[in-house]
Chain A
């Protein structure tokens, strides 16, 4: 028998009992929808969690700290950096070192008009900066000695010495609200530090060091990185080390760092890399310790939701089996006739299997369409039902947290699963059909 004929017969048989086919398909459809929607809610939940976590910090950054009381061999030094760089999965890293001093002040503007009494200074490997998660909002990376990066809101920490005391600083936290209740952006700072030179004065018990600086870029504020991204300075590491020698008067010492930021290629690499660094004897920190239990919980919830959906698809499978058994007992005679006319046993089996499979396929396809619609509806409800939210509800977006997410693989999986359920539940009836003897054609009713 030709495949095409088989398909035609199968569809004809499905069309014969429209209401029964419809109800069986409906069962599969509901099962498919419940699986897809449940899993999509699970995925949405997981994504929302990861979004929350990544707001707390980059998920693929491991921070290596100097061991407590690190007088021994385990120091954060250049050989260690090379070792960490050699671990598979490590994409980039930078050492980090703060400048310790009694006071660090900045002076800017013509006639030393603007003065910041305090700032924090950090040395990093500026070449690896963007890879480990710092973002430049303006300008370029430092290339020459004396060039530095500044925190996004450094300008707000300057006071204008020409204004009266008490009203000579702009408080960027002064929360003012407009008529609609939205916070008003603070007024711009007095000057743009990128457009001039800075003079930094560092005081320690050894004395006072004054050095000129050229700010070349602005780093985006990031609480997970440190206060230098808000109101501080970022030096290239060699620059900072020179400065430290000057300030502390110690020379020729091998540099050791406060901490190292390690960026790994993906979330999966965080755990093995972190483990390896730990076995080297260094304490580490990453979001992994928070992410792991959250992920585990999300997976449990997802399994639970998916399981609920699977139950309804299983019930639908019973429906298919029931429908097929009914239809076979109705068609006993027909099967006998077909056999006596020379229809192969295997063709009869395929005929019934494809009928069951078709019910699964149709149910799965419609189920996916409906689930997709449900996803849009759920997301619209959570995002607010307006026209401009339709696109984010479907494809999501940078700042959009969707409650329900259906990735393409889920649709594909749902359709495949429905067809498999159909075939699986048609297996027993098809075998039953195959065993009907040709003799049934002759038996009188």
Chain B
């Protein structure tokens, strides 16, 4: 029921994106000419080996870097042309991130970490931390609310990371190898959780991975080789998420 919304305008539109890096006197072309549309509510997997350009593509999509040529629009907004402040405001409102190495701030507790995006928005402490506790309970960390990152296992940290990515109800969540540092059992838990959230709130997930197992969770699999999309296919054998 809450599948990808294929009829209306795509939430992510990538048009002719090219990215070059100058390395010494030479120029390395990381992305050649990328065209991609992702629909609202879609779980899109960007799949490729290391060096394929998948991380570079993620950086362009998330507005971390500006493409050398071409344009990225999210919800119609040309994020590749926003300045730093507009970008910060846009991230607050529309984007969430799940990182490979969790990236929780070490001096903040789990609750404070999850509440961070709301703090940047200016939500009062009591309100944002109540929301954070609720979400942490939902990801199964009700016993770790006031723990610091170093007191938690990798799986627990990543659950807190997921709670942080979803707390502001973003339109798009970028997940960069979210299970890269986790064992296979935890990987399943984490992926289920991401997919469940996305489905419940009709959010779009961009999942970057080199692991074919992970790609199985996606609605669409985009395969990158040497900076080019070689395949862009709807996943026929989509694996239904387990209940988280």
Q: Which residues of B contact A175 (CB under 8 A)?
A: none
User: Given A439-B59, A442-B64, A444-B100, do A344 and B88 touch, yes or no (CB 8 Å)?
Assistant: yes
User: Given A342-B95, A346-B85, A442-B55, do A334 and B105 touch, yes or no (CB 8 Å)?
Assistant: yes
Q: Which residues of A contact B122 (CB under 8 A)?
A: 1-2
Question: Is A389 part of the binding interface, using a Cβ–Cβ cutoff of 8 Å?
Answer: no
Smallest distance from the beta carbon of A291 to chain B beta carbons, Å? 59
Question: Is A13 part of the binding interface, using a Cβ–Cβ cutoff of 8 Å?
Answer: yes
Q: How many B residues are at the interface, by size bracket?
A: 35 or more
Smallest distance from the beta carbon of B129 to chain A beta carbons, Å? 11
Residue-by-residue, is B51-91 near A (CB-CB < 8 Å gives 1, otherwise 0)? 00001001100111100000000000000000011001111
> Is the beta-carbon distance between B120 and A347 smaller than 8 angstroms?
yes
Total inter-chain residue pairs, C-beta < 8 Å: 76
Cα A13 to Cα B92 in complex, Å, equals 23
Question: Is B124 part of the binding interface, using a Cβ–Cβ cutoff of 8 Å?
Answer: yes
Q: Which residue of B lies closest to A2 (CB)?
A: B122
Cα A400 to Cα B41 in complex, Å, equals 83
Partner of A5, one of B84, B89, B93, B119: B119
Question: Is A345 part of the binding interface, using a Cβ–Cβ cutoff of 8 Å?
Answer: yes
Question: Is B49 part of the binding interface, using a Cβ–Cβ cutoff of 8 Å?
Answer: no
> Is the beta-carbon distance between A337 and B105 smaller than 8 angstroms?
yes
Q: Which residue of B lies closest to A337 (CB)?
A: B103
Cα A337 to Cα B119 in complex, Å, equals 14
Question: Is A438 part of the binding interface, using a Cβ–Cβ cutoff of 8 Å?
Answer: yes
> Is the beta-carbon distance between B64 and A438 smaller than 8 angstroms?
yes
Question: Is A80 part of the binding interface, using a Cβ–Cβ cutoff of 8 Å?
Answer: no
Cα A439 to Cα B85 in complex, Å, equals 15
User: Given A2-B122, A12-B107, A438-B64, do A342 and B89 touch, yes or no (CB 8 Å)?
Assistant: yes
Q: How many A residues are at the interface, by size bracket?
A: 20 to 34
User: Given A12-B107, A442-B55, A445-B101, do A341 and B85 touch, yes or no (CB 8 Å)?
Assistant: no
Q: Which residue of A lies closest to B168 (CB)?
A: A342
Partner of A345, one of B85, B99, B105, B124: B85
> Is the beta-carbon distance between A1 and B119 smaller than 8 angstroms?
yes
Question: Is B166 part of the binding interface, using a Cβ–Cβ cutoff of 8 Å?
Answer: no
Question: Is A159 part of the binding interface, using a Cβ–Cβ cutoff of 8 Å?
Answer: no
> Is the beta-carbon distance between A16 and B117 smaller than 8 angstroms?
no
Question: Is A46 part of the binding interface, using a Cβ–Cβ cutoff of 8 Å?
Answer: no
Q: Which residues of A contact B84 (CB under 8 A)?
A: 345
Q: Which residue of A lies closest to B116 (CB)?
A: A341
Question: Is B121 part of the binding interface, using a Cβ–Cβ cutoff of 8 Å?
Answer: yes
Q: Which residues of A contact B168 (CB under 8 A)?
A: 342
Cα A345 to Cα B58 in complex, Å, equals 22
Question: Is A326 part of the binding interface, using a Cβ–Cβ cutoff of 8 Å?
Answer: no
Question: Is B164 part of the binding interface, using a Cβ–Cβ cutoff of 8 Å?
Answer: yes
Question: Is B97 part of the binding interface, using a Cβ–Cβ cutoff of 8 Å?
Answer: yes
Partner of B120, one of A333, A341, A438, A439: A341
Cα A2 to Cα B89 in complex, Å, equals 15
> Is the beta-carbon distance between A341 and B65 smaller than 8 angstroms?
no
Partner of A340, one of B91, B106, B107: B91
Partner of B117, one of A4, A342, A441: A342
Among B93, B101, B119, B176, max chain A CB count under 10 A is at: B119
Q: Which residues of A contact B116 (CB under 8 A)?
A: 338, 341
Cα A346 to Cα B120 in complex, Å, equals 11
CB neighbors of B among A341-371 (8 A):
341-347
User: Given A12-B107, A444-B100, do A340 and B119 touch, yes or no (CB 8 Å)?
Assistant: no
Among A2, A13, A346, A437, max chain B CB count under 10 A is at: A2
Cα A342 to Cα B117 in complex, Å, equals 7
Question: Is B125 part of the binding interface, using a Cβ–Cβ cutoff of 8 Å?
Answer: yes
Cα A16 to Cα B125 in complex, Å, equals 21
> Is the beta-carbon distance between A344 and B59 smaller than 8 angstroms?
no
Q: Which residues of B contact A12 (CB under 8 A)?
A: 107-108
Q: Which residues of B contact A347 (CB under 8 A)?
A: 120
Q: Which residue of A lies closest to B121 (CB)?
A: A342
> Is the beta-carbon distance between A344 and B85 smaller than 8 angstroms?
yes
Q: Which residue of A lies closest to B165 (CB)?
A: A341
> Is the beta-carbon distance between B85 and A342 smaller than 8 angstroms?
no
Question: Is A263 part of the binding interface, using a Cβ–Cβ cutoff of 8 Å?
Answer: no
User: Given A16-B107, A334-B105, A346-B85, do A442 and B121 touch, yes or no (CB 8 Å)?
Assistant: no
Cα A381 to Cα B212 in complex, Å, equals 82
> Is the beta-carbon distance between A343 and B62 smaller than 8 angstroms?
no
Cα A437 to Cα B103 in complex, Å, equals 15
Q: Which residues of B contact A340 (CB under 8 A)?
A: 62, 64, 91, 97
> Is the beta-carbon distance between B125 and A4 smaller than 8 angstroms?
yes
CB neighbors of B among A301-338 (8 A):
333-334, 337-338
Question: Is A339 part of the binding interface, using a Cβ–Cβ cutoff of 8 Å?
Answer: yes
Cα A189 to Cα B101 in complex, Å, equals 100
> Is the beta-carbon distance between B125 and A341 smaller than 8 angstroms?
no
Smallest distance from the beta carbon of B78 to chain A beta carbons, Å? 18
Q: Which residues of B contact A438 (CB under 8 A)?
A: 63-64
Q: Which residue of B lies closest to A17 (CB)?
A: B107
Smallest distance from the beta carbon of A395 to chain B beta carbons, Å? 44
Q: Which residues of B contact A16 (CB under 8 A)?
A: 107
Smallest distance from the beta carbon of B95 to chain A beta carbons, Å? 7
Q: Which residues of A contact B92 (CB under 8 A)?
A: 341-342
Inter-chain pairs besides A338-B116, A345-B84, A442-B64, 12 sampled, C-beta below 8 Å: A1-B119, A4-B125, A5-B125, A12-B107, A333-B103, A337-B99, A337-B103, A342-B93, A344-B85, A344-B88, A345-B85, A445-B101
The 19 sampled A-B contact pairs (Cβ below 8 Å) are A1-B119, A334-B106, A338-B105, A338-B116, A338-B120, A341-B116, A342-B89, A342-B92, A342-B93, A342-B121, A344-B85, A344-B89, A345-B85, A346-B85, A439-B65, A441-B99, A442-B59, A442-B99, A444-B100
The 9 A-B pairs of least Cβ separation, nearest first, read: A342-B92, A342-B91, A439-B64, A344-B88, A343-B120, A337-B103, A342-B120, A345-B84, A341-B117
